[in-house]
Amino acid sequence: MTPFSYHKPASISEAVSLAGASSHFIAGGTNLVDLMKENVVRPKRLIDISGLGLNGIHLTLNGGLLIGALVSNADLAWHPMIEQHYPLLSDAILAGASPQLRNMASTGGNLLQRTRCYYFYDTGTPCNKREPGSGCPARTGSNRIHAILGASDACVATHPSDMCVALAALEAVVHVQGPRGERQIPFAAFHRLPEDTPERDNQLAVDELVVAIELPPPEFENHYRYLKIRDRASYAFALVSVAAALKFDGEVIQQARLALGGVAHKPWRDPVVERMLAGQAPSEALFTRAAQTLLQDAKPLSHNGFKVTLAQRAIVRALNDAAYGAACWRARP
């Protein structure tokens, strides 16, 4: 690791006043410490935010939840309110990483983890995300795990989080604080597509700190599914994942949310597809049409064409599981 200075501020305002282009906040450290060992990230100053008391989970006035940025992934997944009212989020978190990492990793940090693109991690190769303007070897190289939607000539990396796919489907809101005060960012606007500036993963300024994640009032406790497809049964990043959440009015889908992981630079949603599902009775034909529409603009690379078919099948299965309810698919062998 390249040497750095260490600071542990006692307040949010002190933390953001220490922040800048050559500094980095650290919470759980599960991704950042690894990136620092690989010299992918070399902060001159590390700002330890673990003393800022952002560890609470509170009910909001409108019946939602405000989750402190420092709540660990494990504590969040197993919190009674999350398990009972936001089971999609609980399942997504538990599908990611390992128990050890989930004990360490923070809620805010999960949003800010970097892509696991091999070239981003390998400082011996060019990478536009790591060194803007240096090139993207993944476009023509080993790109089996890379994006099929929303990529650019500059970058075909994917966002690696499972938790964020559920947060996108649930339309969470990211609360951030900086020297200019607080602001709230809708989840869909938080992460960005690579375009020609892939070095920026999200809309945060360098001196802004994620302080909390807000969940709207629960709507999808009964009909939900987080389905993750990966190269081994556990402890691997998603090739494709699907967060599906449905709300029924009798036999008819009143509202649908559908987000994909492992396919783009951010959790992928398509409002057109979600509207297509609303007002319809669930059927294999409807779900197949939704899956085809969601992937109609997919542009696979040389080694990841399989992801298009895989994503379509995973969407149909996740929507079916969501429609029949957790009691059904959990009992299935």
Q: Which of 50, 152, 203, 292 binds other proteins (CB under 8 A)?
A: 50
Q: Where are the alpha helices (DSSP H) in the chain?
A: 12-18, 32-37, 73-77, 80-85, 87-94, 99-104, 107-112, 118-121, 163-169, 187-190, 271-277, 284-294, 306-324, 326-331
What is the rounded distance in angstroms from the CA atom of residue 60 to the CA atom of residue 62?
5
Q: Which residue's CB is nearer to other proteins, number 78 or number 248?
A: 78
Q: Which residue's CB is nearer to other proteins, number 99 or number 179?
A: 99
80 burial level (CB within 10 Å; 0-12, 13-18, 19+): exposed
Q: Is 221 in the site for other proteins (CB under 8 A)?
A: no
Q: Which residue's CB is nearer to other proteins, number 39 or number 184?
A: 39
Backbone angles phi, psi at 297, to 5 degrees: -100, 15
Q: Is 98 in the site for other proteins (CB under 8 A)?
A: yes
Q: Is 48 in the site for other proteins (CB under 8 A)?
A: yes
Q: Which of 17, 18, 33, 144 binds other proteins (CB under 8 A)?
A: 33
What is the rounded distance in angstroms from the CA atom of residue 319 to the CA atom of residue 127?
36
199 burial level (CB within 10 Å; 0-12, 13-18, 19+): middle
Q: Is 55 in the site for other proteins (CB under 8 A)?
A: no
Q: Which residue's CB is nearer to other proteins, number 61 or number 331?
A: 331
| 59 φψ region: left (φ > 0), alpha (ψ -120 to 50), beta (else) | beta
Q: Which of 30, 107, 177, 202 binds other proteins (CB under 8 A)?
A: 30
Q: Which residue's CB is nearer to other proteins, number 43 or number 194?
A: 43
Region binding other proteins by CB under 8 A among candidate stretches 91-99, 164-172, 212-220, 239-247: 91-99
Q: Which of 10, 37, 63, 281 binds other proteins (CB under 8 A)?
A: 37
Q: Is 84 in the site for other proteins (CB under 8 A)?
A: no
- Residues at the contact surface with other proteins, assessed by CB under 8 A: 1-6, 26, 29-30, 33-34, 36-37, 46, 48, 50, 74, 78, 97-101, 103-104, 233-235
